[in-house]
Amino acid sequence: MNLSKSASIIAALAMASTAGLIFTQKQANASTIATITTNGPATLYDINGNAITNRALSPNSKWAVGSIFVSGDKAIYQVSTNEYLRSTEANLTGDYAYLQPNKSAASAKLTGQIINGTTTLYRDDTNSMSNRMLANGSNWAIGKHYLNKNGDDFFQVSTHEYVNGKHLSLNHAPEQTIYSANFGISGAHVDTDDEANTSNNNNNDNNWSNIGTDDNSNVVNTNNNTNTNVDTNTDNNNTSTDTETYKPNVANINKYFVAYLNALHKANGTAPVHSTDHFMSYAQQRAEQQNGNNLDHSTATENDSENLSSAGFNYMNYVGVKSDKDAAYFLLKDWYDEDNNYAAIGQEGHFGHRAALIYSGPEVGLGITDSDAAFDANWNMAQNDQFLQIYNYTGSNPNTKFISKDSI
């Protein structure tokens, strides 16, 4: 490692003296992502510490990280060949999340904190809700991660008990995701990768991994398993129609997506949009540049508003999408719901994709591949203040309106 070069970068970006500092350099892999946490565009710097004036990173955008330079509470992230970002303007997730300043090496193990109130648990051995709950604010070591056909995440907190991802703030992204169509759906047949999951129906499960306490005071026993967290903004109707005969047409999906997007704009009082050949072509290019769950904004060649998703045609087939109209609505709802946002609910940026939808345009385009999807649009600078109100919102339900599937 070139110590003098890394020292000059740290000095310029961290705005601190390099005297007596010891630098740690790590070469990140594809899972290491920096998510911009600033209210406005985040400044980039070259290798000499000079601010780059013709390019910046938009709020809530996500960038693959190359090298990470850390010294005490100072760090910088390399987001392209000669572009660097201050750690104070981004949140790091992935294999080297523990290198983020003020995080200990122990946090490299996947852990989660319960958010949004005390939450019920799902048992994989009985395929039903447990009679125990986890207290709001309690911290847990996380085991397996399952994803079901509805796009719901479930994280293991004991031998047979799992918490819905909507109630977890993770210290970094999970390394492995197991797809099980009916996992977490009570009454449905569940296939898992562990036969032992179906061999023990004993609810006295004591293999807890609570962090920071020597008892189960954060486990709540209850006979009331009613889930009161009802999403009233979305249409969750599913169909069982065979999807094997569906042949998607991206151009046709764009037409439906624009129609749904304009209905969303009308509901929220924003101006209508229209697709263009340029934005459709560029969005398709951006979708093709992605690699499954390793979404990467750093390869963008235009300074546009952009939403990315790893829910491409293959995943949509899992969840029962059977028409171009279904595909358009699925993607709109997926971005609006923010279930898979890197910023946890309660943090600034959690509703960034939603804000980008509502304040997009006037020119937009959608691109989809088997594994990924991209939505690109003009920045709506005339309503940037309104965009930031949603982006900066730290509650659980901003004052926005969604639309039903039959709105077009």
SS (H, E, C) 44-96: EECCCCCEEEEEEECCCCEEECCEEEEECCEEEEEEECCEEEEHHHEEEECCC
Of 107-111, 128-132, 322-326, which has the strongest mean pLDDT? 322-326
CA dihedral sign of residues 354, 358, 361, 366? positive
Question: How large is the average pLDDT for residues 37-48?
Answer: 82
CA 249 distance to own-chain centroid: 26
pLDDT given for residue 82 in this prediction: 79
Listed residues 221, 241, 259: the one ending a domain: 221
For the chain, what percent of residues have pLDDT higher than 90?
Answer: 25
pLDDT given for residue 132 in this prediction: 80
Domain identity same for 65 and 129:
no
Domain identity same for 139 and 59:
no
Domain identity same for 210 and 272:
no
391-405 residue pLDDT tens? 899 998 899 999 999
287-320 residue pLDDT tens? 999 876 567 888 888 889 999 988 888 888 877 8
Distance CA 385, CA 389 (A): 6
Of 99-108, 165-174, 241-250, which has the strongest mean pLDDT? 165-174
pLDDT given for residue 231 in this prediction: 28
Is residue 99 a part of any domain in this protein?
yes
Question: How large is the average pLDDT for residues 9-14?
Answer: 46
Is residue 233 a part of any domain in this protein?
no
Domain identity same for 95 and 138:
no
Among residues 298, 296, 316, 299, the alpha carbon closest in space to that of 308 is found at 296
Distance CA 223, CA 120 (A): 11
pLDDT given for residue 73 in this prediction: 55
Domain identity same for 134 and 171:
yes
Domain identity same for 319 and 386:
yes
pLDDT band at 208 (very low <50, low <70, confident <90, very high): low
406 pLDDT more than 70: yes
Distance CA 278, CA 364 (A): 9
pLDDT given for residue 109 in this prediction: 76
Better-predicted residue by pLDDT, 187 or 194: 187
Distance CA 53, CA 35 (A): 20
Among residues 343, 289, 301, 311, the alpha carbon closest in space to that of 35 is found at 343
| Burial (Cβ within 10 Å: 0-12, 13-18, ≥19) of residue 405 | middle
Of 47-51, 225-229, 230-234, 393-397, which has the strongest mean pLDDT? 393-397
Is residue 332 a part of any domain in this protein?
yes
116 pLDDT more than 90: no
Domain identity same for 257 and 362:
yes
Place of tokens 């085991």: 143
Is residue 168 a part of any domain in this protein?
yes
Domain identity same for 263 and 398:
yes
**For strand 74-80 and strand 83-86, is the pairing parallel, antiparallel, or unpaired?**
antiparallel
Domain identity same for 119 and 82:
no
Listed residues 58, 73, 103: the one ending a domain: 103
CB 251 within 8 A of CB 335: no
65-113 residue pLDDT tens? 888 876 655 678 888 877 888 888 888 877 566 556 654 433 457 788 8
How many domains are there within the chain? 3
Q: Which domain holds residue 9?
A: 3-103
* Token code pair at residue 258: 């624009």
pLDDT given for residue 297 in this prediction: 81
CATH for 381: 3.40.33.10
Determine how many CB atoms are found less than 10 A away from the CB of residue 211: 14
Better-predicted residue by pLDDT, 177 or 144: 144
Is residue 237 a part of any domain in this protein?
no
252-264 residue pLDDT tens? 999 999 999 999 9
pLDDT given for residue 189 in this prediction: 63
Domain identity same for 261 and 389:
yes
147 pLDDT more than 50: yes
* Token code pair at residue 296: 């990467």
Among residues 54, 101, 63, 96, the alpha carbon closest in space to that of 81 is found at 63
Is residue 239 a part of any domain in this protein?
no
Domain identity same for 399 and 256:
yes
Listed residues 103, 133, 148: the one ending a domain: 103
Average pLDDT of the chain, as a whole number: 76
Question: How large is the average pLDDT for residues 150-179?
Answer: 79
pLDDT band at 198 (very low <50, low <70, confident <90, very high): very low
CATH for 66: 2.30.30
pLDDT given for residue 21 in this prediction: 42
Domain identity same for 190 and 269:
no
Is residue 243 a part of any domain in this protein?
no
CB 312 within 8 A of CB 284: no
Is residue 36 a part of any domain in this protein?
yes
**Please, which residues bridge with residue 132 across strands?**
221
* Token code pair at residue 345: 């609910």
